[in-house]
Chains A and B, each alone.
Chain A
Amino acid sequence: MAEKETKSAEKLAFEKLIEVYKKQNPAKYELKKEELAKKLAGIK
C-alpha cells in the first residue's frame, strides 16, 4: 500500500495563507492564482 504523503508545516501554512487570501482579497487572488499555485508546488 502506498504511503500517505505527509505535507510539511511550510506547505500547510502556505495552503492556509492561500485560503485566507482567497477570502480577504478575492479579486487579487484571481489575478495571482497561477503564481500562488506555482509557489505552493515549489514547497516540499
Chain B
Amino acid sequence: MATTNSLSTKTLRDTYRAAQIQQALRNAVVAEKICMVDRSDLKTISSPYITAMSTVVQAVVGTYTPANIATTDDTLTVADEFIVSGQIKGFEKITSNFDLFFAANQAMTNSVVTAIDKWVLNNLCEDGTGAYTTPAGGFTTSANVNVIFSNIISKTAGYADALNGLYVVVENTDLTGIMQSQVNTGFQRADEAATNGLIGNIMGVDIYVVRSGTFVDATTTTVSGTKTWTNAGHRVAGVKNVSTYAFPRGLQFEEKGVTGVTGMEVVCYGLVGFKQWTPTSDLTIDITLA
C-alpha cells in the first residue's frame, strides 16, 4: 500500500541563486549619452547669446551700416526634485537572509536615475524646435527607416555643431522596423545585422533604445514635476551635447532613525534642471510618428 509521508517546511533543501536579493527589472538610461551634464552645485547656469551677425558683400565703396547687437539671457534653472524613500525596520535588517538595506539603496538609486532619464528625454523632445514627421507607420515600417534617418541627417547637416555626432532615441517597439531594415539593407551590413542583431548606428546616427512608455503626455505629474509635455507618439533625434541637464552633486542619501519605528528611514533624492540652449534648439528634432 502506498504511504504518504509528511515533511516539515524545514525539511526540504533550499538555496539562493545569488548572494544578493534580486532587483526589479531595470530600464536602460541614455540621457547622459546625448546631453551635457553638470554636477556642480549651482542653482542656475547662464548662457547668454547674441544676435546672429550678418555679413554684407558689396562692391568696394568703404561704407557700412552698423548693426544693433542684442544680447539675450538663456538660463538653466534647477527647479525639480526627484525623491524616493523607504523604511527598513530593525528586525528586517537583522533577520533577513540578504542585506536589505544595501538592496533598497540600490533600488532607490535606480528608480531616481530612471525617472531623471525619462524626464530629460521628454524635455529634450519638448524643447527641440527642429521638427520632422515620419511617413505613415513610423519606425515600425522597415521601408521608412532609411527615409527617416536620412531626414534626421539633412535637418542638422551643414551646421558646425553636427560634428558632435548624431543620435536618435526610439522606444523598444520601434525596433521591429529598424532591425528588418538593417538585415535588408546592403550586403556586409545586412549580414552583420542578421548575425549580430541590432546595429547601434545607421548612416552615422547612433540609436538609443528606451522602453515603451518613455515618451508621454504629462502635466505637472509625479513623472513630469513642474513640466508639461505632449510627447506621446513622438521621438527625439538630433545633435549630441547641444542641451544641458544639471544634476547638482548627483544623488543624495539620508538615513535617519525616526520615532516609533525601529531601524532606519532612507531617502534618496536628486535635484535636476534641463535646458535646450536656444541658439542650438534647431539641432534637436521633435519627431512626430505618423
Contacts and interface: CB of A to CB of B under 8 A. Distances in A.
Given A25-B126, A28-B126, A35-B288, A17 B131 contact: no
Interface in A10-44: 14, 16-18, 20-21, 24-25, 27-28, 31-32, 35-36, 39
Contacts of B84: none
Interface stretch (B60-68, B87-95, B212-220): B212-220
B232 interface: yes
A32 B133 CA distance: 12
Interface string B223-262: 0000110101100000000000000000000000000000
Contacts, number: 32
Contact of A32 (B129, B218, B227, B230): B230
B219 A39 contact: no
**Chain A, interface residues (CB within 8 Å), range:** 10 to 19
Given A17-B219, A20-B228, A31 B131 contact: yes
Contacts of B233: 35
Nearest to A32: B230
Interface string B264-289: 00000000000000000000001010
A39 B232 contact: yes
Given A24-B228, A25-B126, A16 B131 contact: no
A17 B223 CA distance: 14
Nearest to A16: B219
A31 B219 CA distance: 18
A42 to B, nearest CB: 11
A26 to B, nearest CB: 12
Contact of B228 (A17, A31, A35, A39): A17
B279 to A, nearest CB: 16
Contacts of B230: 17-18, 21, 28, 32, 35-36, 39
Q: Which of B126, B217, B228, B233 has the most CB of A within 10 A?
A: B228
Contacts of A14: 217
A25 B228 contact: yes
7 contacts: A17-B230, A21-B230, A27-B129, A35-B230, A35-B288, A39-B217, A39-B232
Interface of B: 126, 129, 131, 217-220, 227-228, 230, 232-233, 286, 288
Interface of A: 14, 16-18, 20-21, 24-25, 27-28, 31-32, 35-36, 39
Please give me the 5 A-B residue pairs with the lowest Cβ-Cβ distance, nearest first: A17-B219, A20-B219, A20-B228, A21-B228, A24-B228
Given A16-B219, A28-B129, 10 more contacts: A17-B218, A20-B219, A20-B220, A21-B219, A24-B228, A25-B228, A28-B230, A31-B131, A35-B230, A39-B232
